[in-house]
Amino acid sequence: MFKIRRSSLALLAAGVLMIALAGVLRFVAVPVLTKLPGDTDTVAHYEGTATLLNSAALKSGDTAHALMSNVPITVDRHIYVSSTSGDTAVVHDEAVINGPNGLTINQKHVYALDRVTLLEAPAPDGAEVESHTGVTVALAMDPPADDSQSYWDSGTQAAVPLRYKGSDSVHGRDVQRYEASAQGALKNSMTLSTLPAQLPKALVEQLLPSLPAGSQDALRTALPTLPDLVPLAYSASNALNVAVDSALGLPITAAQQQKVVAGVEADGKRIDLLPVMALDIKTTDASADTSADKARSAGEKLNLLADYIPLAALILGVVVIVIGIVRRRPASAA
């Protein structure tokens, strides 16, 4: 009767288990690890200049000091996940603009994102999130080298094309570059709540000397038809240039120019008065270094679990099975 050594059976069983482990790691564990983690909590830092509205000066009629122009600012952007439900994460995007003399301006957004695509997802029960479409805080893994994606502009509350601008290397990481541009009526309720909804006509008239010639002429003509309290209409523009990690989709550097301009409507035409907020910022070198280091560490861990360990387990499993087959028969009796 043909007999197989017990040790060979053990080796065969161990080899099969190692091959199965390789499959579990590659096709079960890795997809779980590529989801947005529930403990995501990152801070990015920016620096640049800004033109900001001095509301107190404007209200007092001091139009000469109504704007703080080209002042240095820093921006701290905090992105974190507060909860998850299956494949959906509730993601907070909070920015603090730090200006002169202790001035701070807060911008807060909450999104429900698919943990794999990082695009919009149905909100979990009880979660209050902003409706949106397109990319918000980051791109998904292996971002496409094309123009197939859109970017959500929170100022105009609209999705605009996210245009691919080629590959590059930034802070030691391979990146994909994208650009987006948005322009339209300001619809961000948080920003609107910080701005005056109307101004006395007398105060609007005092702004005339500070306006471009075209706006001066249009406003001077329109003034007699304007009410005593002139409603203001705000427009917003946003230009973004971002470099994201080619493997993980995480932003490494970004440059952004945002502007909000106050205007009035007269005879169906808009007359721009003055910019009430204009930001020109970019990622600090230190923050970019930190983001690149995090991407490098996360990429190495993912490669280890996705490729190296499964491959090692597969090879070892095959070797163990071969050894088990080769020595499957007991040695012949002398």
> Tens digits of per-residue pLDDT, 151-203?
999 999 999 999 999 999 999 999 999 999 999 999 999 889 888 898 888 88
- Average of per-residue pLDDT across 303-323: 66
> What is the 3-class SS of 22-75, one letter each residue?
HHHHHHHHHHHHCCCCCCCEEEEEEEEEEEEECHHHHHCCCHHHCEEEEEEEEE
Amino acid 215: pLDDT = 86
Q: CA 117 to CA 113: how far, in whole Å?
A: 8
Mean pLDDT of the residues in the chain: 85
In this predicted structure, the answer to whether residue 96 has a pLDDT above a threshold of 60 is: yes
Strand partners, 74: 47, 98
Question: Out of 16-20, 90-94, 152-156, which region has the weakest mean confidence (pLDDT)?
Answer: 16-20
- Average of per-residue pLDDT across 2-11: 61
In this predicted structure, the answer to whether residue 334 has a pLDDT above a threshold of 50 is: no
pLDDT band for 303, please (50, 70, 90 cuts). Answer: low
Torsion of CA 144, 179, 116, 93, to 10 degrees: 170
At 128-137, the pLDDT tens digits run 999 999 999 9
Q: CA 46 to CA 97: how far, in whole Å?
A: 9
Burial of 291 (0-12, 13-18, 19+ CB in 10 A): buried
Contacts of 130 (CB under 8 A, 6+ apart): 109, 110, 111, 154
- Average of per-residue pLDDT across 262-288: 92
Strand partners, 113: 89, 120
Report, in angstroms and rounded to the nearest whole number, the Rg of the chain calculated over CA atoms. 29
Residue of 237, 291, 261 whose CA lies nearest to 46:
291
Which residue did the predictor score with more confidence, 23 or 272? Answer: 272
pTM of the predicted model, to two decimals? 0.81
Amino acid 310: pLDDT = 64
Place of tokens 């000469």: 64
In this predicted structure, the answer to whether residue 17 has a pLDDT above a threshold of 80 is: no
Per cent of the chain over pLDDT 70 is 78
- Cβ–Cβ < 8 Å for 177, 185: no
Q: CA 27 to CA 316: how far, in whole Å?
A: 18
Which residue did the predictor score with more confidence, 300 or 32? Answer: 300
- Average of per-residue pLDDT across 110-121: 96
Amino acid 105: pLDDT = 87
- Cβ–Cβ < 8 Å for 56, 93: no
In this predicted structure, the answer to whether residue 278 has a pLDDT above a threshold of 90 is: yes
Amino acid 14: pLDDT = 65
At 209-228, the pLDDT tens digits run 878 888 888 888 889 999 99
**DSSP label at 140?**
P
At 246-274, the pLDDT tens digits run 999 999 999 999 999 999 998 888 999 88
